[in-house]
């Protein structure tokens, strides 16, 4: 862990989306130095599955040694942003650091992304970042510290990161383009940088998307907080950078990254937008539509592929079905499998005692999952976690994500038999 130095004592840090998760972690790290934290977020009452409000965050910040100003801010509302900036300047005398952390996400393809969700992502991610930066810049220009930090990825133009969630990528890259433009526009006055995690970070929002199992394959929010703190210590001349958390902490002398793991020793889910080996990945994308493999997983040779394994898996699943499983699940799953023994298969956990088979289901599928036959067998046998397959692009899901998570729980029950 990166130690605090007291560098941010008395500094005012304006953070969007600071009521929980990464935003709150950055706030608490700065608070330990005695910083003033403006919590610009919209949560005033706890969400059933997303704990934390601007008021509970304020209590934690003050307990950590900082001063807190909770402000109700939906970054889509320019007036709410302006009001919060005015309150911050009135209470603390200025703004030294802005962290654009607020973000909306939907990892869905073009036809599966409703216009309302597209608008949300564009307005929160790109427009919200732009407007919040615009409101804070006049005060940042007066600061000796003067940093803007956007939680956004490097501008990676590998088509892989566009084809599966085009709208989200456009909205998130909009935040990164703000870095590119504003760093140049305010060079010498304000440092403007982007920060992105190398691996999945465990937050309540990530758990909602990926299920509880993903926790074991994530790092803690502390790694982002430490990386952000490292950036804030740098001079204004450190600008226009797209920083990966692990890389900057290595420069700080951090060698043991197990301290940031939720479960040290477990494999880590790589975050999206990062190509560890760009050239081979690009070639794979062009020729096979493939995606980077998870670290530590060996590519299969043809000799290892098992003929009829999919059919055998479905047979075991069918023999294991009970009325209770069908009653508890109430969903129809369709599998589009590529490769040997592939094609369209279904798992009906809605009608009577359940059914499986080759071809399309008689009822409309609630969830459609697309993957290779080999990954399908690995998932049902427990060798590949569905959350890891989904986040790495090996598994594509259309339909009801909550029902997809129910299927993952069923897989866990069946693994002893597979």
- Residue 323 maps to which CATH number? 3.30.1050.10
Q: Given pLDDT bands bounded at 50, 70 and 90, which one contains residue 208?
A: low
In a domain, 283, yes or no: no
Q: Given pLDDT bands bounded at 50, 70 and 90, which one contains residue 142?
A: very high
Sign of the C-alpha dihedral, residues 403, 409, 412, 417? negative
Give the list of residues 6+ apart from residue 37 with CB closer than 8 angstroms, or none.
12, 13, 15, 18, 27, 30, 31, 58, 61, 66, 67, 68, 69
The stretch 272-277 carries a mean pLDDT of 73
Q: Where are the alpha helices (DSSP H) in 234-334?
A: 245-251, 278-288, 309-320, 323-329
Last residue of a domain, one of 220, 235, 260: 260
Verify whether residue 168 is a known catalytic residue.
Answer: yes
pLDDT at 344: 93
Whether the predicted pLDDT of 107 surpasses 80: yes
Q: Within this chain, do residues 239 and 124 fall inside the same structural domain, yes or no?
A: yes
Q: Within this chain, do residues 117 and 236 fall inside the same structural domain, yes or no?
A: yes
Q: Within this chain, do residues 119 and 219 fall inside the same structural domain, yes or no?
A: yes
pLDDT at 305: 36
Whether the predicted pLDDT of 293 surpasses 60: no
User: Which token pair is 286?
Assistant: 């062009």
Q: Mind listing the pLDDT tens digit for each residue in 385-401?
A: 776 677 667 888 887 76
Give the list of residues 6+ apart from residue 118 with CB closer than 8 angstroms, or none.
167
Q: Within this chain, do residues 252 and 324 fall inside the same structural domain, yes or no?
A: no
Q: Within this chain, do residues 320 and 247 fall inside the same structural domain, yes or no?
A: no
The stretch 366-375 carries a mean pLDDT of 90
In a domain, 338, yes or no: yes
Return the minimum-mean-pLDDT range out of 145-159, 303-317, 329-343: 303-317
Give percent above pLDDT 90 in the chain. 57
Q: Given pLDDT bands bounded at 50, 70 and 90, which one contains residue 207?
A: low
Q: Given pLDDT bands bounded at 50, 70 and 90, which one contains residue 279?
A: very low
Q: Given pLDDT bands bounded at 50, 70 and 90, which one contains residue 50?
A: confident
CA distance 252 to 229: 11
In a domain, 200, yes or no: yes
Give percent above pLDDT 70 in the chain. 87
Whether the predicted pLDDT of 118 surpasses 70: yes
In a domain, 69, yes or no: yes
Strand, helix or coil for residue 57: helix
391 or 65: which leads in pLDDT:
65
Last residue of a domain, one of 219, 242, 260: 260
Q: Given pLDDT bands bounded at 50, 70 and 90, which one contains residue 144?
A: very high
Instruction: Write down the number of H helices and E strands in the chain.
Output: 16, 12
Q: Within this chain, do residues 314 and 211 fall inside the same structural domain, yes or no?
A: no
The stretch 243-254 carries a mean pLDDT of 96
Q: Where are the alpha helices (DSSP H) in 216-343?
A: 222-232, 245-251, 278-288, 309-320, 323-329
Domain limits at 358? 309-415
The stretch 10-33 carries a mean pLDDT of 97
Strands laid side by side in the 367-372 sheet: 355-358, 343-349, 331-338, 367-372, 396-399
Last residue of a domain, one of 243, 260, 277: 260
In a domain, 294, yes or no: no
Q: Within this chain, do residues 203 and 321 fall inside the same structural domain, yes or no?
A: no
Q: Within this chain, do residues 156 and 225 fall inside the same structural domain, yes or no?
A: yes
Q: Within this chain, do residues 138 and 225 fall inside the same structural domain, yes or no?
A: yes
Average pLDDT of the residues of the chain: 86
Q: Given pLDDT bands bounded at 50, 70 and 90, which one contains residue 22?
A: very high
Q: Within this chain, do residues 233 and 94 fall inside the same structural domain, yes or no?
A: yes
Q: Mind listing the pLDDT tens digit for each residue in 85-104?
A: 999 999 999 999 999 999 99
pLDDT at 211: 55
CA distance 280 to 286: 10
Q: Answer yes or no: are the C-beta atoms of 37 and 69 closer than 8 Å.
A: yes
pLDDT at 233: 96
CA distance 355 to 160: 35
CA distance 278 to 266: 25
pLDDT at 276: 57
pLDDT at 282: 30
Whether the predicted pLDDT of 210 surpasses 80: no
Q: CATH code at 121?
A: 3.40.50.720
Whether the predicted pLDDT of 212 surpasses 80: no
pLDDT at 205: 61
Q: Answer yes or no: are the C-beta atoms of 42 and 36 closer than 8 Å.
A: no
The stretch 200-228 carries a mean pLDDT of 79
Strand, helix or coil for residue 194: strand
The stretch 26-30 carries a mean pLDDT of 98
CA distance 202 to 196: 14
Q: Within this chain, do residues 24 and 139 fall inside the same structural domain, yes or no?
A: yes
| Residue of 168, 173, 229, 260 marked catalytic | 168
Q: Given pLDDT bands bounded at 50, 70 and 90, which one contains residue 108?
A: confident
Strand, helix or coil for residue 171: helix
Q: Given pLDDT bands bounded at 50, 70 and 90, which one contains residue 380?
A: confident
Number of folded domains that form the chain: 2
Q: What is the CB-side half-sphere exposure of residue 404 using CA atoms within 13 A?
A: 23
Strand, helix or coil for residue 399: strand
CA distance 201 to 260: 10
Q: Within this chain, do residues 186 and 113 fall inside the same structural domain, yes or no?
A: yes
């Amino acid at each position: 862990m990166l130690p605090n130095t007291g560098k941010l004592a008395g500094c005012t840090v304006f953070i969007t989306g600071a009521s929980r998760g990464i935003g709150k972690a950055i706030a608490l790290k700065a608070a330990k130095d005695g910083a003033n934290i403006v919590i610009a977020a919209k949560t005033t009452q706890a969400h059933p599955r997303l704990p934390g409000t601007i008021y509970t965050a304020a209590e934690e910040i003050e307990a950590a040694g900082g001063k807190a100003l909770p402000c109700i801010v939906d970054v889509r509302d320019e007036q709410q942003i302006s009001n919060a900036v005015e309150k911050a300047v009135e209470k603390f005398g200025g703004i030294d650091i802005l962290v654009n952390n607020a973000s909306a996400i939907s990892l869905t393809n073009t036809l599966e992304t409703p216009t309302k969700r597209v608008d949300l992502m564009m307005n929160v991610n790109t427009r919200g970042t732009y407007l919040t930066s615009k409101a804070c810049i006049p005060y940042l220009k007066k600061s000796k510290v003067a940093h803007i930090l956007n939680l956004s990825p490097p501008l990676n133009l590998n088509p892989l990161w566009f084809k599966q969630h085009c709208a989200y990528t456009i909205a998130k890259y909009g935040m990164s383009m703000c870095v590119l433009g504003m760093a140049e526009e305010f060079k010498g006055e304000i440092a403007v940088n982007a920060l992105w995690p190398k691996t999945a970070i465990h937050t309540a929002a990530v758990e909602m998307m990926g299920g509880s199992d993903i926790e074991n394959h994530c790092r803690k929010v502390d790694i982002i907080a430490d990386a952000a703190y490292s950036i804030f210590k740098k001079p204004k001349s450190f600008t226009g950078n797209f920083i990966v958390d692990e890389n900057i902490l290595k420069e700080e002398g951090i060698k043991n990254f197990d301290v940031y793991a939720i479960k040290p020793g477990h494999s880590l889910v790589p975050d999206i937008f990062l190509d560890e080996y760009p050239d081979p990945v690009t070639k794979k994308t062009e020729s096979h539509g493939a995606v980077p493999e998870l670290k530590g997983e060996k590519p299969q040779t043809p000799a290892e592929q098992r003929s009829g394994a999919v059919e055998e898996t479905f047979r075991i699943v069918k023999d294991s079905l009970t009325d209770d499983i069908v009653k508890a699940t109430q969903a129809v799953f369709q599998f589009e499998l590529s490769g040997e023994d592939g094609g369209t298969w279904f798992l009906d956990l809605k009608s009577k005692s359940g059914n499986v088979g080759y071809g399309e289901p008689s009822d409309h599928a609630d969830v459609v999952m697309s993957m290779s036959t080999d990954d399908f067998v690995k998932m049902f046998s427990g060798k590949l976690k569905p959350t890891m397959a989904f986040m790495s692009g090996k598994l594509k899901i259309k339909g009801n994500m909550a029902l997809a998570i129910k299927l993952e729980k069923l897989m866990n029950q069946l693994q002893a038999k597979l």
